[in-house]
Structure 1
Amino acid sequence: MMRLRKVIIIVLIPVVVWLITKYILRPSNARTLKSHFAHRRIAMIIAHPDDEAMFFGPTLNALRTLASQTNPGSPELPETNLRIICLSTGNADNLGEIRTGELRSSAAHFGIPPSNVIIFDDPRVQDQMGIKWPTDAIASLVGPYLMDVDVVITFDNGGVSGHGNHMSINDFAREFLIGQGESSREVWVLKSTSILRKYISFLDIPYTYISNHFFHGGSKSERSLVLVSDVREYANTRDAMTKAHKSQMRWFRWGWISLSRYMVVNDLHLL
């Protein structure tokens, strides 16, 4: 009897989480997503090939869905207004050329064509774990690609994994995009979490909603956005990793794909 109760509880938890997400909490986020991202020109700035799938999959899936909803019947999907800007080839293990192709293949899973994937190979911003890149170097590289952009999406100051390269992009966003008073361009950053929350997959969804919507009421509610992938969208992100980023699929990547909350939920915050 006790064992049966445990099985019922294990089954009920994901069902309840899914129902709360789909019918109660997700509609309010859809409104925020539409008001800030619909018909806007968007640039996602990442540090390495695979960042887009490992960390930003729910965001890219949501933007693709939004584009199809706001342009019904149109052949133009997010490729018309979304580009990925990657600051390095990820050449730490001398796989830069391979990983460049993998990023373009991964982007295709989210409806983004190769022409909208910009990848740099500059000596000032090479893939190194403990290194912070110079913000002026980042500015000189990405600046020309942001001239016509309305919205920038990137890492917060924790860089999700504490990677110095990730955090450098946030420094750039704060110093050059926010610090210089470019109020016409919105900058949204992906929130870093504790180690515990990072590896509890969909179980982190309720806490993410509570912390974003009940602790940030009033005018602040429009400055945060929770994006949750359904089963189909999760599978798309998984395929972007396993089928596109094959050079990165070591044993621990399977753990990330199975356990990471960033595979199923993103919470973005407006700087």
Structure 2
Amino acid sequence: MSQASILSGVQGLKSARRALLVIAHPDDESMFFAPTLHVLHNQGAVVRILCLSNGDGDGLGVIREKELLAACRVLQIPTQNVTIVNHPQLQDGMARAWPAEAVAHQVEQQLKQHPCDTVFTFDAHGVSGHLNHRGVHHGVRLLLESQGRQLGVQAGWQLVSERLLHKYGCLLSAPLSALLLRPGQALVTSARVWASVRAMAAHKSQWVWYRKLFVMLSSYTYVNRLQPMALG
């Protein structure tokens, strides 16, 4: 097995050549989507990241923008492929609900400027239930269901939110995910754990003890289970 591979999946994931990952905050890419990013890099896909806020909830937005670019360098994503949005309706905050229309507009503009065949984002629960993560899902879903194919998107994938025991299953994550895999879902895994840790560590302002523990124990460091999204 290569350092990052698709254990189970469908052609829509394996054929991704121009991929867009839509996230809510700087560090989402490293905490949750690293296995998917490793797989995309391995298969030669051009990866872009659209981050819909600069994570300014604690007044650290400028710092966190720089940290995201540093993390993307670790993940071998060129800095010119990273777009960070700072919009009044899309501000970082646990209690801030993001309008689906505002999210959809930002993603639409990104896809028009940089066409992509595959889009990745959170599912409706957003891994942790964070309102911003959930808002990203609803906005991406709104866009893909209304005009995904018109924008050239051939596949959309949402990261499955795992239950608590599975979420912190560490090295047992891959076999557990394989057991839970449903028809149509894709399962990607990565042995590049150190690269994922280094990417998260690049977010120095966020690299506190509980996030260090999260990265080591979290299933999302080792495996991503992906569910297809409907396209219209």
- TM-score normalised to the size of structure 2? 0.89
1:164 alignment partner in structure 2: 131
Are the equivalent residues in 1 in contact too, given 2:189–2:222 (CA < 8 A)? yes
Separation of aligned partners in 2, 1:141 and 1:191: 23
List structure 1 runs of 4+ shifted beyond 6 angstroms: none
1:240 to 199, 217, 220: 199
1:224 alignment partner in structure 2: 185
The count of residues paired between Structure 1 and Structure 2 equals 223
1:204 to 153, 157, 173: 173
1:264 to 222, 225, 228: 222
> Within 5 Å, which residues of 2 pair with 1:27-42?
29=8, 32=10, 36-38=13-15, 40-42=17-19
Are the equivalent residues in 2 in contact too, given 1:55–1:263 (CA < 8 A)? yes
| CA shift for structure 1 position 175 | 1.7
- The one-letter code of the counterpart of 2:174 is I
CA spacing shift, 1:101–1:200, aligned 2, 3 Å? same
Q: Does 1:115 align with 2:80?
A: yes
User: Which structure is higher in RCO with an 8 Å CA cutoff and minimum separation 6?
Assistant: 2
Q: Deviations over 1:199-251 (max 9, x none)?
A: 12121211211221xxx3xxx3xx21111111xx1110001011x11110111
1:252 to 192, 210, 230: 210
Q: Deviations over 1:107-126 (max 9, x none)?
A: 11121111100001111100
Q: Does 1:187 align with 2:156?
A: yes
| CA shift for structure 1 position 168 | 0.6
Separation of aligned partners in 2, 1:188 and 1:39: 11
2:98 to 133, 154, 158: 133
Separation of aligned partners in 2, 1:179 and 1:39: 21
1:15 alignment partner in structure 2: none
Separation of aligned partners in 2, 1:129 and 1:95: 15
CA spacing shift, 1:224–1:249, aligned 2, 3 Å? same
Question: Unpaired segments of 5 or more residues in structure 1?
Answer: 1-21, 68-77
Higher strand share: 2
The SS at the match of 1:129 is coil
Separation of aligned partners in 1, 2:77 and 2:105: 24
Task: After superposing the two structures, state which structure 1 stretch, 116-125 or 128-137, moved more.
Answer: 128-137
Are the equivalent residues in 2 in contact too, given 1:201–1:261 (CA < 8 A)? yes
CA spacing shift, 1:224–1:39, aligned 2, 3 Å? closer
